[in-house]
Amino acid sequence: MRCLVSGRVQGVFFRASTREEARRLGLSGYARNLTDGRVEVLACGSRAAVAALRDWLRLGPPLARVEALACEPVPHQALSGFLNR
């Protein structure tokens, strides 16, 4: 799954918190800041774990304010771990 998260999502530990949650769920992938102020998240793993992360992304960490979340399925990618780019 690839998601784009909009709102107050940069400078509020969004990527680091996403990495912690993804690791807890056993997912691989990454979270990275985009130049337009959004955060891109790529998550690969079980369907249930990916769905749980998507639900978590709707709120994010305490300091974040998620205004929009757009997710789309992507082909599974063989990634190692979850990176904070």
Flag whether pLDDT at 53 surpasses 80. yes
**Is 19 considered catalytic here?**
no
Read off the CATH number of the domain in which 54 is found: 3.30.70.100
What is the tally of structural domains in the chain? 1
Query: 80: pLDDT confidence band, cut at 50, 70 and 90?
Result: confident
**pLDDT value of position 84:** 75
Among candidates 37, 28, 35, which has minimal Cα distance to 9?
Answer: 37
**Is 84 considered catalytic here?**
no
Residue 24: CB partners within 8 Å, gap ≥ 6? none
> Which of 2, 8, 32, 33 is flagged as catalytic?
33
Share of the chain above pLDDT 70, in %: 100
Query: 68: pLDDT confidence band, cut at 50, 70 and 90?
Result: very high
Containing structural domain, residue 38: 2-74
Q: What is the largest CA-CA distance in the chain?
A: 32
> Which of 15, 23, 32, 58 is flagged as catalytic?
15
Residue 81 within a domain: no
Q: What average pLDDT does the chain have? A: 94
Q: What is the mean pLDDT of residues 76-84?
A: 77
